[in-house]
Structures are given as structure tokens and as C-alpha cells.
Amino acid sequence: MEAEAVLIRAVAPEAAVGISGATADGARAAVDALLRGGAEALLSFGLAAGLDPVLRPGAVLVPAHVRLPDGRRLAADPGLVAWLGGGRPDIVTDDLLHSDAVIVTAGRKGACFRRTGCAGLDMESGFVAAGAVAAGVPFAVLRVVCDPAGRTLPPAAVLALRPDGGIGLGGILVSVLRRPTQIPALIALGRDAARARAAARRVLGTLFAPAG
């Protein structure tokens, strides 16, 4: 999403950034464009859903593997994982699950965790991992948990996603007018998203801190 891209651009303005808009087509197109542009490594960056119930909003994930829906596990580059903080006690390196669909309910998150043991889930990292492997370039993942395993997302949260990476305020408003009872859940999600972005900003600030 554009809000996550802003975080990367702030610390690495020369980096090529692709925005998926949380769609399969967008993720494929972004990966293809980066590889055609000569990218020598790929990083899947942004927020993620928590699957491990012990992880709270703001938990930082640097998975050693990305697990695809067909069960394959694609290994992230060990050097990149180490650079991103893998091995530190505050960094979670358990696998990340890729999903082609939005996982909304706490029940489905729990089922995914029991089936795979993955720490978190997103909708882009599988395309990044598969594209990098096919192109013969290294990849890694840096994700921060936004919605924890025990939370079911309100309907407006899904309608908020726009394919261009922006936020669809009109869709949110219509959904809230139809179901105003979801307002407290939206407020909680907004707080957790802010906490997750603050954690991402801290990690990026450490990685790209000026030398000297």
C-alpha cells in the first residue's frame, strides 16, 4: 500500500518501489516491473496479519521462508535475513504464509496457524519470493504485524483497500453508514496500524542509519 511505500522512500529514496494494492495482479505486475528494471534483490515490505496468537501489533517478522498455498517453502536469502535483524530476540523468523485471498476472521487465522505454524500472513510475499527465485535474485521479507490473530477485521477494513495502493474513504464511509457498530473495531484497527507503522519506521531507521 502507498502508506507503506512512504516509509521506504523516506529512508531509501533511490530504491525502486512497487505497489501491489493488496491484489494478486498488482503484486505480479510490481514484481515483474522491478525485475525488468534490473533489480538485483527483492524485499517484500509492509504490514501483515498475525497468525501466531502470541504476536501483538508491532511484532516484526523477518521470515526465513515464505510458504506458498501449495505447501512449497521458498527460502529467503540468509545474508539479507541477517541484515534485517534475523537472530535478534525481538525479530520473529518463523515462516510467513502467502494467501491469495484476504483472511478476515479470527477463526480462519487460527485454522491457518494450526495447519502451517506460520507466524503471519500477507498477500504479496509469495509473488516476491517466486519471482525472485525464478529470476535467480535473492529476496527477503520485512513485515510488521498489524491485526493480531485473535481479531476479526470489520467489513469496512477490506473495502478500504484500493488497487492503486490508496485508501478508499468512500467505501469505508458507505460501510460504516450501513453498519455503524463496526466503528469501535475500526478505531482499534487504526491504532494497531499506527503502532505497526511506528515499529516499521524504527526498524528502517536502524537499517538505513547514516554511518559515522
Residue with cell 527460502: 75
Please report the pLDDT score of residue 167 as a whole number: 62
Residue that wins the pLDDT comparison between 150 and 185: 150
Q: Are 174 and 155 in contact (CB under 8 A)?
A: no
Which bin fits 55, alpha (ψ -120 to 50), beta or left (φ > 0)? beta
d(C-alpha 199, C-alpha 188), whole Å: 17
pLDDT digits (tens, 9 = 90+) for 18-66: 998 778 888 999 999 999 999 999 999 999 999 999 999 999 999 999 9
pLDDT digits (tens, 9 = 90+) for 89-128: 999 999 999 999 889 899 999 999 999 999 999 999 999 9
d(C-alpha 123, C-alpha 142), whole Å: 13
DSSP label at residue 182: G
Give the whole-number percent of the chain exceeding pLDDT 90: 67
pLDDT reading at 165 higher than 60: no
pLDDT reading at 166 higher than 70: no
Please report the pLDDT score of residue 136 as a whole number: 97
Please report the pLDDT score of residue 211 as a whole number: 58
Please report the pLDDT score of residue 101 as a whole number: 87
pLDDT reading at 171 higher than 90: no
C-alpha cell at 30: 510490481
Residue 181, classified by CB atoms within 10 Å of its CB into exposed (0-12), middle (13-18) or buried (19+), is exposed
Instruction: Give backbone dihedrals phi and psi of 96, rounded to 5 degrees, phi first.
Output: -110, 135
Sheet with 42-50: strands ordered across: 73-75, 65-67, 96-98, 120-122, 42-50, 139-147, 60-61, 91-92
Average pLDDT over residues 120-141: 97
C-alpha cell at 185: 473495531
Please report the pLDDT score of residue 31 as a whole number: 96
Domain ranges, ordered by start, for the chain: 2-207
Task: Tell me the CATH architecture of domain 2-207.
Answer: 3-Layer(aba) Sandwich (3.40)
DSSP label at residue 103: -
